[in-house]
């Protein structure tokens, strides 16, 4: 591995809380399968038939097995994500994938028997006090009842999972190992995608434009395979939907988010109606740069004075922002860092982007990020630690089954945490020029979260629509949809370069989870509303917010958010959120005017 000159060099995670080594992980998979077999022998045919106390025992035991599987599975994923070329890791990943599919098959009967229960019997169990820790999840699970097939069919569908994951892996590995020789001023060096993208925040315009061109040059060598991966995955999802009789491609995501399709569509339309807010800012920015119109490489260009921020400084800022809000959250943050659960160093063979995995009730969450010394990397750090605090508090209070929320709610604490960290950065900044940059960055971040993700959800809708009508998702077709949807967003405020046709090809969420994209828009808007509530009445808001984090997925989004002052049934919620968004853009405009 090449050493890097970045300040997060050497910040690699310690995976020993997951498993001591590959051999132990293999052994543990065998033990887990044995445990699952015994569990299935004992419990098969009994789910919901012997009263609430018996069902509670079944669910507790299943929870324990699922958590151990989550931990040992993540051990192999974590290794794959940080060392994609290690042969031992690749073998282990294969074992983990196969065993996880076997395990799921052995345990599948619990869900199927729960769904097969008559409504009256299920209703009776759902109101039993013993089952309260599981009640909401059990209730939500029954919404899938109309679309679930017989056990043998479900097992056959599950058995295909390793083959399906292989497409995802191919897509991810191709991007993780892609490097482009690029000279950023100090001689030619191999650059990963993330490192090239980091130049988009560089003040040097010529460097930004060249880096973007280099990125597209690299992507062009993999785009056909990336399109084939996406086509295979979308085609598979659609044929499984047809078998199940699922009427709407967004239904599986909406159901997991516990959001009505109508609520989602209303939100998406509200976002599209506000695209002009971004265009207004891009025109202002062009004026500031003294050009007629921005090019894409200018989109995130710093206005004012950017500066570097070292890893230790970023760590300190996020800690203080959490400490100011609620010391308990800062304590969790410190524990996770001290335990070596963070991998921050960018390097070849490591996946791009960032994520948090909350693992289980007995292991502290893990975080992967690619820290590149930019001031805005602190946003990513705060974001992932928003997930960490949510995961930790929810796992403390809830059962494993009841801790994990749908994607849309899951992104609320992460977005909220990043807004807190950015506010602290802005407050602390004495240089008006850097302050202007931070204000602009906050507004642009909201644009990326709210507008760009919504545009991507529309891209996905059209891709699934084309595939449904029998049109293959080739590189060219995806490029065309991508450009058309982007033009709706940017209007004539930004000129899109030819290479941007490949912009769809490195978005991991298209591959991992369909329509994950709109969750970011939803969460950013909800976080804006929450922040306004906090400012209005911090004394009342903070405990209610901690309660929201600790509640995990034990309630519906409506019931989770109402106590923190966000009512999803009220259209005013989106209007309030756009009020906050508009305020961010206006402050950014003021910051620029002060330069």
Nearest CB to Zn ion, comparing residues 302 and 406: 406
Nearest CB to Zn ion, comparing residues 353 and 591: 353
Cα–Cα distance, 325 to 122 (Å, whole number):
42
Handedness of CA 218, 445, 553, 337 (dihedral sign): positive
Cα–Cα distance, 365 to 206 (Å, whole number):
40
Cα–Cα distance, 439 to 69 (Å, whole number):
43
CB 356 within 8 A of CB 366: yes
Q: What's the half-sphere exposure (Cβ side, CA atoms, 13 Å) at 11?
A: 26
Nearest CB to Zn ion, comparing residues 257 and 414: 414
Which range, of 51-59, 275-283, 329-337, 407-415, touches Zn ion by CB under 5 A?
407-415
3-state DSSP assignment of residue 564: helix
Nearest CB to Zn ion, comparing residues 19 and 453: 453
Nearest CB to Zn ion, comparing residues 278 and 382: 382
The DSSP bridge pattern shows strands 342-343 and 366-368 to be: parallel
In this structure, the number of other CB atoms found within 10 A of the CB of residue 302 comes to: 22
Position 405 contacts Zn ion (CB under 5 A): no
DSSP 8-class letter at 341: -
Which range, of 365-373, 411-419, 495-503, 557-565, touches Zn ion by CB under 5 A?
411-419
The DSSP bridge pattern shows strands 366-368 and 355-357 to be: antiparallel
Please state the closest distance from residue 490 (CB atom) to Zn ion, in A.
24
Which range, of 57-65, 188-196, 213-221, 414-422, touches Zn ion by CB under 5 A?
414-422
DSSP 8-class letter at 48: T
Please state the closest distance from residue 383 (CB atom) to Zn ion, in A.
6
Nearest CB to Zn ion, comparing residues 19 and 414: 414
Please state the closest distance from residue 51 (CB atom) to Zn ion, in A.
40
Which range, of 188-196, 254-262, 412-420, 433-441, touches Zn ion by CB under 5 A?
412-420
Residue for token pair 């958590």 = 67
Cα–Cα distance, 534 to 530 (Å, whole number):
6
Cα–Cα distance, 304 to 275 (Å, whole number):
24
Nearest CB to Zn ion, comparing residues 43 and 392: 392
110 sits in which H/E element? helix 87-116
Which range, of 69-77, 388-396, 413-421, 547-555, touches Zn ion by CB under 5 A?
413-421
Closest C-alpha to 62, from 98, 109, 127, 119: 109
Q: Tell me the per-residue interface mask from 2 to 21 with Zn ion, x by CB under 5 A, - otherwise.
A: --------------------
Name which of residues 184 to 223 contact Zn ion (CB under 5 A).
none
Nearest CB to Zn ion, comparing residues 134 and 522: 522
Q: Select from 360, 389, 405, 414 the one that contacts Zn ion (CB under 5 A).
A: 414
And the tokens for 84?
A: 């994609």
Please state the closest distance from residue 418 (CB atom) to Zn ion, in A.
9
Largest interatomic CA distance in the chain: 75
Q: Which residue is nearest to Zn ion (CB)?
A: 414
Please state the closest distance from residue 298 (CB atom) to Zn ion, in A.
26
Cα–Cα distance, 371 to 215 (Å, whole number):
19
Please state the closest distance from residue 20 (CB atom) to Zn ion, in A.
30
Closest C-alpha to 452, from 570, 251, 300, 568: 300
Please state the closest distance from residue 81 (CB atom) to Zn ion, in A.
16
In this structure, the number of other CB atoms found within 10 A of the CB of residue 322 comes to: 25
Please state the closest distance from residue 44 (CB atom) to Zn ion, in A.
37
Name which of residues 28 to 67 contact Zn ion (CB under 5 A).
none
Residue 45 phi, psi dihedral angles, 5° rounding: 85, -5
CB 235 within 8 A of CB 471: no
Please state the closest distance from residue 454 (CB atom) to Zn ion, in A.
16
Residue 429 phi, psi dihedral angles, 5° rounding: -75, 125
Cα–Cα distance, 174 to 181 (Å, whole number):
16
Please state the closest distance from residue 443 (CB atom) to Zn ion, in A.
19
Nearest CB to Zn ion, comparing residues 255 and 414: 414
Please state the closest distance from residue 355 (CB atom) to Zn ion, in A.
7
Binding residue count for Zn ion, defined by CB under 5 A: 1
Please state the closest distance from residue 387 (CB atom) to Zn ion, in A.
6
Which range, of 196-204, 254-262, 344-352, 406-414, touches Zn ion by CB under 5 A?
406-414
Q: Which residues are near Zn ion by CB under 5 A?
A: 414
């Amino acid at each position: 591995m090449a050493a890097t000159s970045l300040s997060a060099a050497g910040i690699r995670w310690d995976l020993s809380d997951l498993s001591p080594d590959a051999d132990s992980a293999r052994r543990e998979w065998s033990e887990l399968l044995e445990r699952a077999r015994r569990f299935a022998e004992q419990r098969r045919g009994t789910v919901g038939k012997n009263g609430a106390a018996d069902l509670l025992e079944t669910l507790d035991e299943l929870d324990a097995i699922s958590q151990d599987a989550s931990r040992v599975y993540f051990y192999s994923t974590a290794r794959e994500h940080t060392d994609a070329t290690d042969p031992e890791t690749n073998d282990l990943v294969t074992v983990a994938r196969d065993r996880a599919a076997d395990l799921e098959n052995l345990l599948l009967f619990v869900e199927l028997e729960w769904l097969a229960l008559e409504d009256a019997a299920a209703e009776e169990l759902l109101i039993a006090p013993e089952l309260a820790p599981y009640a909401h999840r059990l209730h939500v699970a029954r919404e899938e009842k109309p679309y679930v097939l017989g056990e043998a069919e479900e097992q056959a569908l599950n058995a295909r999972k390793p083959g399906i994951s292989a497409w995802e892996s191919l897509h991810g590995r191709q991007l993780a190992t892609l490097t482009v020789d690029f000279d950023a001023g100090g001689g030619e060096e191999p650059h990963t995608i993330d490192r090239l993208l980091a130049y988009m925040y560089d003040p040097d315009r010529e460097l930004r434009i060249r880096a973007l061109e280099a990125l597209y040059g690299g992507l062009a060598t993999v785009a056909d395979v990336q399109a084939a991966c996406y086509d295979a995955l979308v085609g598979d999802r659609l044929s499984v939907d047809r078998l199940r009789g699922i009427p709407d491609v967004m239904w599986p995501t909406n159901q997991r988010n516990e959001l009505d399709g109508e609520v989602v569509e209303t939100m998406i339309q509200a976002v599209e109606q506000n695209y002009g807010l971004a265009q207004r800012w891009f025109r202002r920015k062009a004026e500031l740069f003294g050009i007629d119109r921005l090019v894409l490489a200018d989109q995130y260009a710093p206005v004012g004075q950017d500066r570097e921020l070292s890893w230790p400084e970023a760590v300190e800022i996020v800690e203080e922002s959490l400490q100011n809000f609620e010391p308990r959250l800062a304590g969790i943050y410190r524990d996770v860092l001290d335990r070596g659960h963070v991998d921050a160093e960018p390097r070849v063979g490591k996946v791009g982007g960032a994520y948090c995995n909350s693992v289980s009730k007995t292991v502290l969450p893990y975080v992967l990020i690619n820290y590149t010394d930019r001031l805005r990397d602190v946003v990513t750090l705060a974001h992932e630690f928003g997930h960490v605090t949510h995961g930790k508090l929810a796992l403390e209070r809830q059962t494993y089954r009841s801790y994990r929320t749908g994607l849309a709610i899951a992104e609320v604490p992460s977005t909220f945490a990043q807004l807190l960290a950015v506010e602290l950065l802005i407050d602390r900044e004495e240089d008006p020029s850097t302050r202007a940059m931070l204000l602009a960055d906050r507004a642009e971040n909201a644009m990326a979260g709210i507008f760009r993700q919504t545009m991507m959800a529309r891209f996905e809708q059209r891709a699934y629509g084309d595939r449904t009508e029998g049109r293959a998702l080739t590189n060219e077709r995806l490029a065309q949809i991508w450009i058309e949807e982007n033009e709706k967003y940017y209007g004539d405020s930004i000129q899109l370069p030819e290479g941007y046709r490949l912009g769809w090809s490195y978005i991991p969420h298209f591959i991992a989870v369909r329509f994950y994209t709109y969750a970011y828009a939803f969460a950013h808007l909800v976080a804006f509303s929450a922040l306004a509530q906090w400012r209005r009445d911090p004394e009342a808001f903070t405990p209610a917010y901690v309660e929201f984090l600790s509640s995990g997925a034990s309630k519906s989004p409506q019931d989770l958010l109402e106590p923190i002052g966000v009512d999803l049934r009220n259209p005013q919620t989106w209007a309030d959120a756009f009020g906050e968004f508009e305020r961010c853009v206006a402050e950014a405009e003021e910051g620029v005017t002060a330069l």
